[in-house]
Chains A and B, each alone.
Chain A
């Protein structure tokens, strides 16, 4: 029998806000334990939560980026469970009226365009972090109350590879939108994987197995592959799968059982009476919708089409959004945008890396790249001189025309002046001159080089070639 896998992902992402979800404490990683805390995020008696407007905004923005609806009514619920890292012993989350619902994420997989439906992206609060020492445990509450977005897919994923590519696409969307830094090292992205298998053709889903708390995308891929194979093996051997929660052991490369459905929590959700429902206004939503940036995949496709760029160039501009924006600015009105892409990728990007600066630090406007290309195309400077001009642009921010003018770099196209250079070269190098006269065409390049050298690169190379030939052929 042939089996297929059905996978759904729940991804928790920390939002990039200045402060925590309900209080004014800094949302900051790496501070000393229990320094970013206050009565509210410690859950001291008597405190009340006040929603962070920035977190609400980023949630709605995420909704738009994930093609979701942002309903006009959302509410908060308490999820009750005891754990030392959970300050109130209930977690504020959104159960049945989340902030965003029903969207999708598109990405490429093996050259094909794939789509995974999003069930919802709801807002909740992170909990503290437990540390276990030799004979006691401690909790750091710096993370408690950090806004957390839980992004839940429909069970549309069919393989470990697909899960992996979905997660990468999701990460780049969230980074692109400025919603989260998605730093895995800092625990800003965590993932629960729900996997079942069923015989192909069967409608009914198999027993759902959840793998909790994955913190790397490659781990998700490996765990999914392992788990699919394991489940199929169990079924093929005539065994039965039970709904359970399993743990991924990254070193051993296996999953093992944590708990079965029987000891599942009853979270006793109910609406939080301390918070009013969130009713976003049309104006508020429209203002956020205007901030929505183009998604990576869509941008790549558009760059290739609109500017006729090869996939490699488009990739670079999608990977570095600021550089991409700079390119689009530079390419405005250019006949051959590929040339601008070459300058931005080959010269500008290299210079930025070398000087450890960013596009935001640039002293010259993007339009200067177009001017530089114009000078080369118009024959005012050679492409070699253009490199020199670019270096100066980068250093001083002066416009290419001014640099050429000030440094006297303008290409010599005056035939009288050029002829003098050519005659000097021929006189100084009688050997190669004779070679050319005797039919050795390549000797001309040598003489051309001498002229270019004598003119310090300013001679118009095409004219030099023509003049030399004319004189020698006399």
Chain B
């Protein structure tokens, strides 16, 4: 039952000598073996490498060493570079590529003693909201394997929710951490843009991407964020803001904390069960002493369009390097141009190609001002909306997603409908805020529902404090899917 443990529970047992990292790691590997055939959260697992790291951690501990995550198995989204491990971004185009270097967050995990293992499934190049856009097949929701787990970090959410690892890392460009966390019933945190290094995170949209933790409770989210946050000389967009003690932030209560409810978030298509669960969660926070008030974010309706212009424009350039010249899969052609066309045509999936084409279009001469430039201006307005709201409130609460998990295949024919499932999460990235999703209930069909809290830039302590207080007052985070 070791795989069910949280980070802090496992550390307690490791420190007490009741358990070894090898046992914990083996338990996770066994769990993957047992359930992942049904869930497809992992693209691959290098068990030998994982156990070698676990043994090294056990030796360190035997030698008297203690580190913040010594011996804790953490699984990694297939978008983060891990030295000598495959890096596919759930795409065919990278072929047999292995990364020759560690991402900064991986270096930080290793420095904290964590056992870094597995390549977690995702939407190809982090483009998608359902994990259906994976060259390695869809990941499945552990609460109902006919349903999507959310995306793009679907595998990261599934692996945590199904106890295939103790915690995992994912990335969030428009909700890719919070949305699957909500749909799978675990905690997902998107840090403030610039809080966590992006070096070694394969870029989808550079101005929106951020790495963050998936965990079984809020305390673990604080622990894992503590390890991965901080300045990095290899990322110019990283902000050299001091990293506060996130675990210390958990101890405070929420009395007097001001929570805003955006008027504009009462949208058509908001599932009544989701609304009821999140309303109840807000009531709970109010009962704990928080002050709740309505706020306005007037430019909300432009967020999705703005996002799909900026994100795809950046992606069209970021993904240009995948053409088979230096690495990855290559299809030969008579000249370099034909080689590019064939390689990219065969290597990328439909959604990725759709977004590259869209991004190429919005940057084209003659369209740039009407799309890209205008989107940048609207992005500034959206950010101002939030900064203004944060003069009145400390946090903003909303559902994480408008509906619980939908069926696999249900929205694949309608990309626009799919894009709408990110409606509550996208603005956070455009405005450079931090956000968290915590479990706040279940639908009648037994699917998890998430509460999203958004914080001001570098407001992670408030975010964690409120989420933790809520979690302490409820038991949603202790529910587990039945996979036996």
Contact = CB atoms under 8 A, between A and B. Distances in A.
Given A39-B101, A274-B237, A275-B236, A82 B198 contact: no
Contacts of B236: 48-51, 274-276
Q: How large is the interface on A (under 10, 10 to 19, 20 to 34, 35 or more residues)?
A: 20 to 34
Interface stretch (A87-95, A211-219, A240-248, A400-408): A87-95
B383 to A, nearest CB: 15
A80 B326 contact: no
A43 interface: yes
A49 B198 CA distance: 11
Contact of B202 (A42, A45, A83, A88): A45
19 contacts: A44-B99, A44-B101, A48-B234, A50-B233, A50-B234, A82-B320, A82-B336, A82-B337, A82-B340, A88-B321, A89-B320, A268-B316, A268-B360, A268-B363, A270-B314, A270-B363, A274-B206, A274-B237, A276-B237
B295 interface: no
Interface string B183-206: 000000000000000111111011
Contacts of B313: 270
A268 B87 CA distance: 28
Contacts of A274: 203, 206, 236-237
Contacts of A204: none
Contact of A48 (B198, B314, B360, B372): B198
Interface range for B: 35 or more
B367 to A, nearest CB: 10
B94 A80 contact: no
Interface in A66-121: 78, 80, 82-84, 87-90
Interface of A: 39, 42-51, 78, 80, 82-84, 87-90, 139, 141, 266, 268-270, 273-276
Contacts of A48: 198-199, 234-237
Given A139-B325, A274-B206, A276-B237, A46 B199 contact: yes
B302 interface: no
A73 to B, nearest CB: 16
A45 B89 contact: yes
Contact of A273 (B314, B320, B364): B314
B325 A80 contact: no
Given A46-B201, A82-B337, A139-B325, A273 B237 contact: yes
A413 B388 CA distance: 96
A46 B323 contact: no
Given A50-B235, A80-B363, 7 more contacts: A46-B203, A48-B236, A80-B320, A82-B337, A87-B321, A268-B368, A274-B203
B209 to A, nearest CB: 9
Given A80-B363, A84-B325, A270-B368, A46 B235 contact: no
Given A50-B234, A88-B321, A276-B237, A42 B81 contact: no
A274 B320 CA distance: 15
A268 B99 CA distance: 29
Interface in B321-344: 321-323, 325-327, 336-337, 340
B100 interface: yes
Given A82-B340, A90-B320, A46 B103 contact: yes
A90 B359 CA distance: 14
Given A48-B198, A273-B206, A268 B326 contact: no
B204 to A, nearest CB: 11
B261 to A, nearest CB: 32
Contacts of B226: none
Contacts of A269: 363
Interface string B83-121: 000010100001001011101000000000000000000
Interface in B189-248: 198-203, 205-207, 233-237
Nearest to B208: A273
B234 A87 contact: no
B48 interface: no
Contacts of A89: 317, 320-321, 323
A50 B327 CA distance: 23
Given A51-B236, A80-B363, A274-B237, A45 B99 contact: yes
A44 B199 contact: no
